[in-house]
Structure 1
């Protein structure tokens, strides 16, 4: 990208000696931004656009600066801020510089892997490229303050591709933010609703009471309510970035120009961060199961491999022993093979599970045994080479596992009759493992346990991911959630297995649990509960408390525990990971105590 230079200045002098041309109206930033998401001047060269520098990105491959017109027009749809892209070159300006900028108007689309500007669902950022500029003095522009009532409650117009739809910033949140693209915004005393991540960013809410949950987060309760007050915050100032948890606050003002990213949508690039005030949030613990209660838990351990830091095994173990009170059965998801992400043909996970169970014993927990089935190499999705799978841990002093040979990566498990009761053809076994519904996805693991002389069937799941879905903040509204199709098919297969089990024995007790990768309100999970075949125990909690994961500032439910009719259960989601900046896993575990 071209910078201001002696050559550019000499060129300007040569142009001044040319014959005078007809006077052209001066183009200002609001003329470039226009009243839709795509500039009416895209592809055109503009000259001497005035403004004041409001933010500088001086590092990385996408360097540049924002500038803003101190003399706005009267149209609330047209932004007065704009980004000037300088590539890998030093912007060589400072906040407060008054500048005139020349360049080509462009629409930049942040892309994910494999995308093009034509195929991406992300919105574009209007910017100037090939730019030159002159510093003409000093100036300032006030920040626009965002209060609880500033951003509309409704998230986006349901118009399909909204790129060329006239902005309506008083009606839709995405339109409000687009109409302020590149402008300096300010949020005072913001509450953190998404913890600091490894990329030095966090999420705040501009609407403190919007679907607030008891631990300070913002709960995602339905597709019709995206929680429009969420806003991502990054820092342009350098230096320390707060290590914030959900419920913390940024006291005072957090302000800077508004950008857009494929990672979360609109992001406040803060020149100034409010003072970090911890909220005192602590990891939860649950009660110990009574002697007559069978406790069953699910825990996504996030790509656990023997090569992980020993501290991860230790913290996972402490979570099982103290957080979950050492359940009788733990279904664990994302257990990698012995070589972790190295794609070397290894599928066995005995070293991974040994390290985990040894760590649990060292933390004062039971000496768990485990059961699992090795997948076919590279057939179950997840991190390439990792061969993630689900597995059972169980305390042999409290519960017995009914081993039946024959289970392998491709053999389907079936309910069978055994003396008037239900049993399994193989234990452990996999549900319809060759069905297309499980392509590049984990296969459910079914185990037959016995507790106090009675059989209990546990189905451990890790459904297909949301990869490929259009983002909530994108240009297509409502977004297409194409991954739901596979999870719907997976739900039907699990439901079919439960139906078969209950046809053999109408009183059979089954627990279906794990990372289902979708929300309780999603149609993809409806086959599991239709007709009352299974009850999702999260529905026994208030809607604001139904979450096990925090994504883009939304506390949301991806992990579930469901039970067959007649099962009396005490259910608890144990929040010890997702809300914290130093999380051991990105999921919170949950435990169910089945009562006599």
Structure 2
């Protein structure tokens, strides 16, 4: 009986021994981390003791805590981190508590952590280790700061919000980032810039692994029409735990950072003095009128997936166009659905007003989307029949000459040959041979876009005397990529990115990088009449989750507002009496 009682009591008699072990020798955290990217103790069982600095063991959270050595237990080696992540599905301890435990060292997607935790012992209250003040990115890399408390010496800016609705994170950097081939020719220098930009990025995370978090962690107070989170927003007072997982450095903040909008949503650009004609080029972001009858499949996987989405899309696009007050609209990503009363161009023209007309292209090609041209019949008149240019088996370009009018009289502007085009995208689906990514920064199908530029130049060689040419549309190429160079060599001036311009422009954002995909290119006849060429930054800077497609946030932009009406910004070109801005 006594022997059985002793066996039964043995585990309980040992409990005080574990508590008494607090403060006894343990393997230092900086020894586990080591000076290399991978721990020298991978696969080994170790006992550590440190202060909990951040706990994320709740439902949907990281399932663990960050443990850091107390200030007096840290070494003087700047190449070793003094903290690590302890993975545990069960609660361990709260921040400001000293914790001792045994676990196995492993590397998880580049993060050194302890797992298979045994004998966790709360050793009582302890002061939090001092946060290390750092510049971002650290000059010697962030590996030696993995898991540690840090505070950033300077604010960062938001460069991307793509994962805000998906994972509750924002991408930050010291400055906004251009697409490398927006400012550099394709090749090694552009690729070097891309890698440099990657090192400058820091994800502002929320300590959770939950998809589609409710509510959103940023901005404070929630996302709405009046409280957006545009790229370029300054984020200050960044302090928390520095984490690395899934190939990105992340900051889990200890306190809410401060968001400071650096620029309000812009008003539509005002026409300059002497303006006679306004031309707008706009990628509509898959304009497919919603017609699905009950119980029948949709006609296309593009565009609005419901009547509600279609209503939002239509309202925002019409609001955008009306705010710009164009005379001519060069459009891309229209549904390729003919020209009947229920077709995309007919519905859009009707929504814009009785004075609007659309051009019937003789060939829309075989793609689901096409280009289109709409114009105000009281401001311009068509000259001759439209023609198309086949572009390497892709969407044909539409060519139509227009004569500007002032009331019932001709203006001083020459007839304008408008060319609306949409080059092959950078997506790699079905890319073969020369169309595959060549590793120079231009993405897939660069060879095809080059051929399309050449075919366009060849088709436009002969223009009627005195007629100016304006190429408009989505070229799926950034400013220093080869297709733009070929068009420039043929005498077409990039109006958004003229030679000698300081800084860089953009109409599109891709994974946190900005550049121009949408263009206006003028020949020498038209160039003296170009008074201004700008984009209206209503879409590329806005969070994508405010788009019409998003079920949870699509309604947070009121009807009649243009914000996130598409994923491209419209290009606005004002023409008038001879001007010298682009000479």
1:447 equivalent to 2:399? Answer yes
2:204 is matched with which residue?
A: 233
For 1:329 and 1:102, the matched residues in 2 are separated by 68
> Paired residue for 1:126, among 93, 109, 112?
112
* 1:458 equivalent in alignment to 2:432: no
| Paired residue secondary structure (1:79) | coil
Of residues 240, 255, 272, the one that matches 2:239 is 255
Within a 5 Å distance, the mapping from 1:70-109 to structure 2 comes to 70=70, 71-86=73-88, 89-109=89-109
Counterpart Cα distance in 1 of 2:13 and 2:102:
12
CA distance 1:520–1:295, change in 2 (3 Å): same
Distance across 2 between alignment mates of 1:508 and 1:450: 10
Structure 2: state its 5+ residue gaps: 1-9, 19-24, 185-189, 209-213, 224-228, 291-305, 405-413, 430-437, 547-563, 578-583
Secondary structure class of the residue paired with 2:155? strand
Assess if the C-alpha contact under 8 Å between 2:177 and 2:512 holds in 1.
no
Tell me if 1:202 matches 2:170: yes
Change in 2 beyond 3 A, CA 1:254/1:574:
same
Q: Could you say what secondary structure the match of 2:325 adopts? A: coil
Q: Classify 1:448/1:352 alpha carbon distance in 2 versus 1 (closer, same or farther; 3 Å).
A: closer
Contact kept? 1:27, 1:46, Cα under 8 Å: no
In 1: Cα distance, 2:270 partner to 2:374 partner: 19
Confirm or deny that 1:269 pairs with 2:259.
no
2:124 to 132, 137, 144: 137
Kept after mapping to 1: 8 A contact 2:131/2:151: yes
Aligned pair in 2 of structure 1 residues 179, 291: CA closer, same or farther (>3 Å)?
Answer: same
TM-score normalised per structure 2: 0.67
Distance in 1 (CA, whole Å) between partners of 2:339 and 2:48 is 60
Task: Quickly say closer, same or farther: Cα 1:72–1:562, change in 2 above 3 A.
Answer: farther
Q: Following the alignment from structure 1 to structure 2, what is the Cα–Cα distance between the partners of residues 145 and 179? A: 13
Query: 480, 483, 488: which one pairs with 1:521?
Result: 480
Please tell me whether the aligned partners of residues 182 and 480 of structure 2 are also in contact (alpha carbons under 8 angstroms).
no
Q: Given that residues 39 and 107 in structure 2 are in contact (C-alpha distance below 8 angstroms), is that contact kept between their aligned partners in structure 1?
A: yes
User: How far off is 1:481 after superposition?
Assistant: 5.4
Retained in 2: the 8 A contact 1:488–1:525? no
**Does structure 2 conserve the Cα–Cα contact (< 8 Å) formed by 1:464 and 1:517?**
yes
Tell me if structure 2 keeps the 8 A contact 1:332–1:393.
no
Give runs of aligned pairs for residues 397-416 of structure 1, distance below 5 A. Answer: 397-400=378-381
TM-aligned CA distance change 1:32 to 1:288, over 3 Å? same
Query: C-alpha distance in 1, partners of 2:50/2:348?
Result: 58
Shift of 1:356: 4.1
What is the DSSP-based 3-state SS (H/G/I as helix, E as strand, rest coil) of the residue aligned with 2:95? coil
Give yes or no for contact 1:41–1:105 (8 Å, CA) kept in 2: yes
**Of 531, 534, 539, the match for 2:497:** 539
State the secondary structure of the residue aligned to 2:326: coil
CA distance in 2, matches of 1:533, 1:543: 21
Distance 1:480 1:283, change over 3 A: same
For 2:326 and 2:249, the matched residues in 1 are separated by 42
Q: How far, CA to CA, are the matches of 1:219 and 1:485 in structure 2?
A: 14
One of 522, 526, 539 as aligned partner of 1:577 = 539
Q: Cα distance, 1:201 vs. partner? A: 3.2
Give the Cα separation in 1 of the matches to 2:480 and 2:383.
35
- SS of 1:179's equivalent? helix
Spell out, residue by residue over 1:175-197, the C-alpha distance to the aligned partner (whole angstroms, 9 max, x if none).
x2333332233236735333654
1:482 shift after superposition: 6.8
1:299-347 superposed Cα distances (whole Å, 9 cap, x missing partner): 233344433252332222221121x3324122233x4578xxxxxxx99
How much does 1:353 deviate?
4.5
> CA 1:271–1:54 in structure 2 vs 1: closer, same or farther (change >3 Å)?
same
Work out whether 1:177 is the aligned partner of 2:148: no
Q: CA-to-partner distance for each residue in 1:379-425, whole Å, 9 max, x for gaps? A: x6xxxxxx444433333433455786xxxxxxxxxxxxxxxxxxx7x
Q: d(CA) in 2 for partners of 1:129 and 1:516?
A: 50
Structure 2 residue aligned with 1:6: none
Following TM superposition, by how much is the alpha carbon of 1:272 offset from its aligned partner in structure 2, in angstroms? 1.5
Separation (CA, whole Å) in 1 of partners of 2:104 and 2:287: 48
The answer to whether the aligner puts 1:321 opposite 2:322 as a matched pair is yes
Q: 1:211 to 1:254 in 2, by over 3 A?
A: closer
Q: Cα 1:146–1:504, aligned 2, differ >3 Å: closer, same or farther?
A: same
Which of 134, 147, 150 matches 1:146? 134
Checking the alignment, whether the CA contact within 8 Å between 1:194 and 1:246 is kept in structure 2 is yes
Pick closer, same or farther for the CA change 1:511–1:261 going to 2, 3 Å: farther
SS in 2 for 1:513: strand
Structure 1 pair 270/292, CA: closer, same or farther in 2 (3 Å)? Answer: closer
Q: Verify the 8 A CA contact 1:50 1:99 in the aligned structure 2.
A: yes
CA distance in 2, matches of 1:524, 1:41: 52
CA shift, 1:96, in A, is: 2.8
Check the 8 A contact 2:373/2:420 in 1, yes or no. Answer: no
User: How many angstroms does 1:460 deviate by?
Assistant: 1.9
Are the counterparts in 1 of residues 232 and 262 from structure 2 also a CA contact under 8 Å?
yes
Change (3 A) 1:517 1:235: farther
- Return closer, same or farther for 1:389/1:501 CA change in 2, 3 Å cut-off: closer
- 8 Å CA contact retained: 2:182, 2:504: no
Deviations 1:520-567 (A, max 9, x none): 2345644443x3543222223844341223455544333333233443
Q: Secondary structure at the match of 1:511?
A: strand
Asked whether the 8 Å contact 1:464–1:483 carries over to 2, the reply is no
* Structure 1 residue 281: Cα displacement: 0.9
- Provide closer, same or farther for how the CA distance between residues 277 and 493 of structure 1 changes in structure 2, counting only shifts above 3 A: closer
Query: Could you give the per-residue CA deviations for residues 425-445 of structure 1, whole angstroms, max 9, x where no partner exists?
Result: xx3454121xxxx5xxxx353
- Taking the aligned partners of 1:464 and 1:12, their CA distance within structure 2 comes to 71
Q: CA RMSD in A?
A: 4.4
